Amino acid sequence: MSQPPSDSSAELPKPSLPSGIVAFVKRDCPTCEVVAPVLAALGGQVELTVYTQDDPEFPANVTRVDDTDLSVSWHCEIEAVPTLIRVESGREVERVLGWHRAEWEALSGVDGLGEGLPDFRPGCGSLSVDPSRAPQLAIRFSGSKLRARRVEVASLEDEQEAFFDRGWTDGLPIVPPTEARVLAMLEGTTRSPDELVAIVPPDLASCSVEKVAINAVMAGCKPEYLPVVIAAVEAACTDEFNIHGLLATTMSAGPVLIVNGPIRNRIGMNSGKNVFGQGNRANSTIGRALQLVIRNVGGGRPGEVDRATLGNPGKVGFCFAEDEEGSPWPPLSTSFGHAAGTDTVMLFPGEGPRTIVDQLAREPGPLVMAFAAALKSMLTPKMVLAFDVILVVAPEHSRVFREAGWSKEDLLAKLHEATLMDGDDLVRGAGGIADGLPETVRGQKIPKFKPGGINIVHAGGGAGLFSAIIPGWANGAIGSATVCKEITP
């Protein structure tokens, strides 16, 4: 059901605190139990009001206010109990978290508090910030900031079947995007929920931060992944990346996301063993979230605008991180003008990975030739210059180049040299293959890749003499350019 937030969801006014000393406690807190006699003694000497979060009868012998609905605690941003606050003319002047004798005495102006108690005891988390309660409290007390339409699911209706019936999924179950979950997801970014992120093809629909967050919830992301997803959506919807063309092509390519920078480790991405496979939440859900945005916001659905003849499993979501720490070379992002250490996500229009096996090469030259043989046959040996590629060099192969002192530039130069193609082999009919180039290329040497068309990434497990190529889609004006976008909070 589509509707704007009702008046009942508008933000409630912040309650005013009484002047004097105000305390927030809960019975289910050992430190609060310990300081209960201190509060009773303090109440005999100053104006004291105690807000109790879980038991209206606790503590005894003080002026208590029942805050079991947590409205005052939430509005006063109480992070821990006990919290002691000094209020003057309805305005907070000072607060202390936990039991600190010296600080309580300074705040209250009363000496000799808590004789026989230790000088310091930490408190407990406030119920108003309990992860199981905070999202619902935010909805109750601040009012919904969400603008997306609400869809009511009948009590007897299976949620997942409802999502499938409405065409919201990629063929797999999704996480229901409840208001609480979306609000929690939005905590992962400093950007406003209504900020425009991109105009999403093919329907050219406006996509806000909120809409990205909804699809990130559906994909199974954690809030800390959201900045990566937002950057990926921004990159995908540029003219350079041309997501509309990538959707409409009959080839099998889709967005491939590669993350660089410290954020890889902060959100727990995989850059090592099974780097293209299952099992890592960030890798699995970030790429999926981008695809759900393209589907649900932009209208890019398979069989409609998405015209892939075969597709590939990575079109559900293909995302991984570079192993920067183990790499002998600067990060991939530096090739696109970003300083090492910058959080970035690169989008490449790619197909599924194809393994390169070389178990015997112990010198760079033979290993380059093995890489080149796989690269020259990419898509078809007759296709040249029109397609870029990602070469993923795994640690056991990169060790060969490291020990020989090869830079990334050295490797790229040798790869371009080794992938020069004989025009005689490219003409139509050569090698018994009908496809090919016109007769005019005979006698020429033609590069397989344009300058900058080979992107080298370091990733994968430490055991196994394997690397991989990820073939690209058409480059140039009619195709898609690789785009590397900085990730911002």
**C-alpha span between 415 and 10 (Å, rounded):** 62
Residue 406: predicted pLDDT: 98
For tokens 């004006």, name the residue: 477
Q: What is the pLDDT of residues 352-386, one digit of tens each?
A: 999 999 999 999 999 999 999 999 999 999 999 99
> What pairing do the DSSP bridges indicate for beta strands 454-458 and 205-208?
unpaired
286 contacts 232 by C-beta, under 8 angstroms: yes
Structural domains present in the chain: 20-131 (3.40.30.10), 179-486 (no CATH)
The HSE-up count of residue 36 (CA atoms within 13 Å, CB side) is: 15
Spatial CA neighbour of 203 closest among 253, 243, 162, 147: 243
Name which of 105, 95, 101, 98 is nearest 119 in CA terms: 101
**C-alpha–C-alpha distance, residues 53 and 70, integer Å:** 6
pLDDT(152) > 90? no
- 124: β partners: 81
Please give the pLDDT value at position 105.
97
Is the link from the previous residue into 131 a cis peptide, with omega within 30 of 0?
A: no
- More confident of the two residues 338 and 132: 338
What would the pLDDT profile of 174-201 be if each residue is shown by its tens digit? 999 999 899 999 999 999 999 999 999 9
- What are the start-end ranges of the E strands in 245-367? 254-260, 318-321, 344-350, 354-357
Residues 33-55, mean pLDDT to the nearest whole number: 96
Is it the case that residue 6 has pLDDT exceeding 50? no
Q: How many angstroms separate the CA atoms of 363 and 84, rounded? A: 69
Q: What is the mean pLDDT of residues 410-419?
A: 98
At 3 the pLDDT is 31
Question: Among candidates 248, 166, 170, 171, which has minimal Cα distance to 203?
Answer: 248
**pLDDT band at 8, cuts 50/70/90?**
very low
Structure tokens at 291: 């695809």
Residue 279 pLDDT:
95
CB 271 within 8 A of CB 232: no
pLDDT at 312 over 80: yes
Instruction: Provide the pairing of β-strand 80-81 with 124-125.
Output: antiparallel
Nearest residue to 354 (alpha-carbon basis) of 317, 391, 302? 391
What pLDDT is stored for residue 5 in this prediction? 35
pLDDT higher than threshold 60 for residue 262 = yes
Mean pLDDT rounded to a whole number for the chain: 94
Question: For 266-309, how does the pLDDT look when each residue is reduced to its tens digit (9 = 90+)?
Answer: 999 999 999 999 999 999 999 999 999 999 999 999 999 999 99
| β-bridge partners, 446 | 421
Whether residue 213 contacts residue 193, with contact meaning beta carbons closer than 8 Å, is answered with yes
Q: Which helix (H) or strand (E) holds 426?
A: helix 423-426
pLDDT of residue 7: 37
pLDDT higher than threshold 80 for residue 85: yes
Phi, psi of 378, deg, nearest 5: -60, 130
Q: Which residue from 219, 228, 148 is spatially nearest to 183, judged by alpha carbons?
A: 148
- Axis crossing angle, helix 179-186 with helix 134-142, rounded to the nearest 10: 100
- Please report which helix (H) or strand (E) contains residue 150, including its range: none
| CB neighbour list of residue 165: distance below 8 Å, 6 or more residues apart | none
What are the respective helix, strand and coil percentages of the chain, to the nearest 5?
35, 20, 45
Answer for the pair 350, 475: CB distance below 8 angstroms, yes or no.
no
pLDDT cut 90: percent of the chain above it? 89
Region 389-414: what's the mean pLDDT? 98
Q: DSSP letter at 478?
A: T
Interhelix angle 281-296/209-219, nearest 10 degrees: 130
As a dihedral over the C-alpha atoms of residue 282, residue 287, residue 288, residue 291, rounded to 10 degrees, the angle is 160
Query: Which CA distances in Å does 156 have to 153, 160, 163, 174?
Result: 8, 12, 14, 18
15 pLDDT above the threshold of 80: no
Task: Calculate helix-pair angle for 209-219, 179-186, nearest 10 degrees.
Answer: 110
Residues 229, 267 contacting (CB under 8 angstroms): no
Model pTM score: 0.82
pLDDT of residue 399: 97
CA distance 136 to 430: 68
